[in-house]
Amino acid sequence: MEDKYPEARAMLLEAKSAFETIGNQLGAAQCLQSLDAISHAETDQPKKGTSSIIQKLSAMTVFILLLGLIYIQSLF
């Protein structure tokens, strides 16, 4: 799963940009939160036992944000 972090980071940055373009501050903030979780997972900084939870939440957040991005792109 760790090899997917760069791909997830790129997707999140793209989603964050899209959210900022349409003025969706919550979506942009959620992207930042997920980017932070990825950074912590990559550096193995989270408290013991939370790494797995962060990874699962990050994957779920990326999935939800990508669905939102697909929906946003369908509007244009």
Spatial distance between the Cα atoms of 62 and 56, rounded to a whole number of angstroms: 10
The whole-number pLDDT of residue 22 equals: 92
Question: Which residue is listed with tokens 């980071």?
Answer: 9
φ, ψ of residue 40 to 5 degrees: the values are -65, -40
Cβ count near 65 (within 10 Å): 22
Q: In this predicted model, what pLDDT tens digit does every residue of 17-70 receive, in sequence order? A: 999 999 888 888 888 888 888 888 877 644 555 566 666 667 777 777 777 777
CB 73, CB 19: distance < 8 Å: no
Give the pLDDT score at 48.
54
Residues 6+ apart with CB under 8 A from 51: 41, 44
- CA–CA distance, 34 with 39 (Å, rounded to integer): 9
